C-alpha cells in the first residue's frame, strides 16, 4: 500500500469518489488476478457494479506492475526464459506450439535471490524465444549482465548448455557443466510455477495491455511474497 501511494495510486480527486476504500480496491485487483472470476461474479462480492470493478482494475493494474531493475551487481547472474499465457485477445496473440492462442512473455530472475527483475513486453505466442529475447526489450534491460538460458536461445550470446553433435558423446567436463546449468536454470521454472497459481495466467480475458499489466503485477506480488 505504501509503494502504491508513493506512485500516486490514491490521490485526492475532485468529483465522485471511489465506491470502495483504497485497500479494498487493491484487494479486488489481486482477487481478480488470483481467481480469474468474471467481473459479473467478482463485483457483487465487493458490493459494486461490474463497470466500477472494470474501472478499478484498469486504474490500479498498471500501477501494480513491476518496475524493471536498471542496475545489477557486478557479480550478478540472471536467468531468462519465456512462458506462454493463453490470451483471448487475438490482436496480441497467435497460435503457439500447444495450438492455443497465447502471448510469449520473456521473464528474467536473479539466480541468487530468485526475484523477478525484468518482464518483457508480450509478443505473439508463435515467436521463438531467441527472437523474443531482443524484441521484448529484455536484452536491452539486462545489458551485459551474465545471463543463462536453455537451448532455445542460439546466437544470442547467452550462456546455454553444451550441445551433443550427432554420433558424438560429450566429454565428462561438459556433462558436468550441463548438469550444473540445468540445476540452476530450474529456478526460473519454479518461479513460473508459483506465478501460474494466479489463474489469470492460465486464461487471460483482458484486452490490449491488460495481459502485460497482469503479468508484471503478478511478478511484483510474487517478489513481495518471496521477500516477505
Which of residues 13 and 112 earns the better pLDDT score? 112
Query: What tens digit of pLDDT does each residue of 182-217 get?
Result: 999 999 999 999 999 999 999 999 998 999 999 999
The mean pLDDT value of the chain amounts to 91
Residue 11's pLDDT is what?
A: 72
Mean pLDDT to the nearest integer, 139-161: 93
**In the predicted structure, residue 15 carries a pLDDT above the cut 90:** no
- Of residues 2 and 159, which shows the higher confidence score? 159
- Rounded Cα–Cα distance for residues 184 and 149 (Å): 10
Q: What is the pLDDT of residues 71-99, one digit of tens each?
A: 898 899 999 999 999 999 999 999 988 77
Q: Are 64 and 29 in contact (CB under 8 A)?
A: yes
Whole-model pTM? 0.90
Residue 40 neighbours by CB under 8 Å, 6+ apart: 50
Going by pLDDT thresholds of 50, 70 and 90, the confidence category of residue 13 is low
The model's pLDDT over 95-147, given as tens digits with 9 standing for 90+, comes to: 988 778 999 999 999 999 999 999 999 999 999 999 999 999 999 999 999 99
Report the pLDDT value the prediction gives residue 161, as an integer from 0 to 100: 93
Query: Can you tell me the mean pLDDT for 44-64?
Result: 93
DSSP β-ladder status, 101-110 and 77-86: antiparallel
3 confidence band (pLDDT: 50, 70, 90): confident
Nearest to 107 by CA among 76, 74, 85: 85
Q: What proportion of the chain, given as a percentage, has pLDDT over 90?
A: 77
pLDDT value at residue 64:
92
| DSSP bridge pairs for 148 | 79, 159
pLDDT grade, residue 68 (50/70/90)? Answer: confident
Cα dihedral 148, 150, 153, 154 sign = positive
Query: What's the CA gap between 193 and 181, in Å, rounded?
Result: 19
Report the pLDDT value the prediction gives residue 87, as an integer from 0 to 100.
94
**Residue reference for cell 551474465:** 146
N-term to C-term CA, the chain: 14
Answer for the pair 191, 107: CB distance below 8 angstroms, yes or no: yes
pLDDT at 12: 66
- Is the pLDDT reported for residue 165 higher than 90? no
Strands (E), the chain: 77-86, 94-95, 101-110, 116-119, 123-124, 146-148
Q: What is the mean pLDDT of residues 9-27?
A: 81
Q: Are strands 123-124 and 101-110 parallel, antiparallel or unpaired?
A: antiparallel
Amino acid at each position: 500500500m505504501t509503494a502504491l501511494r508513493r506512485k500516486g495510486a490514491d490521490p485526492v480527486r475532485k468529483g465522485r469518489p471511489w465506491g470502495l476504500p483504497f485497500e479494498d480496491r487493491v484487494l479486488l485487483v489481486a482477487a481478480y488476478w488470483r481467481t480469474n472470476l468474471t467481473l459479473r461474479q467478482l463485483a457483487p462480492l465487493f458490493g459494486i457494479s461490474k463497470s466500477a470493478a472494470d474501472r478499478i482494475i484498469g486504474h490500479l493494474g498498471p500501477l501494480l506492475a513491476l518496475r524493471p531493475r536498471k542496475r545489477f551487481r557486478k557479480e550478478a547472474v540472471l536467468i531468462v526464459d519465456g512462458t506462454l499465457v493463453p490470451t483471448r485477445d487475438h490482436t496480441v496473440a497467435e497460435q503457439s506450439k500447444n495450438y492455443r492462442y497465447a502471448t510469449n512473455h520473456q521473464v528474467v530472475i536473479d539466480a541468487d535471490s530468485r526475484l523477478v527483475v525484468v518482464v518483457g513486453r508480450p509478443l505473439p505466442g508463435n515467436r521463438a524465444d531467441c527472437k523474443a529475447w531482443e524484441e521484448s526489450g529484455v536484452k536491452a534491460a539486462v545489458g551485459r549482465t551474465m545471463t543463462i538460458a536453455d537451448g532455445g536461445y542460439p546466437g544470442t550470446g547467452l550462456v546455454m548448455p553444451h550441445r551433443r553433435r550427432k554420433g558424438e558423446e560429450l566429454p565428462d567436463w561438459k556433462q558436468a557443466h550441463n548438469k550444473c546449468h540445468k540445476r540452476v536454470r530450474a529456478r526460473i521454472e519454479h518461479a513460473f510455477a508459483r506465478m501460474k497459481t494466479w489463474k489469470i495466467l492460465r486464461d487471460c480475458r483482458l484486452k490490449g495491455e491488460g495481459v502485460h499489466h497482469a503479468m508484471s503485477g503478478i511478478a511484483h506480488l510474487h517478489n513481495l511474497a518471496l521477500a516477505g
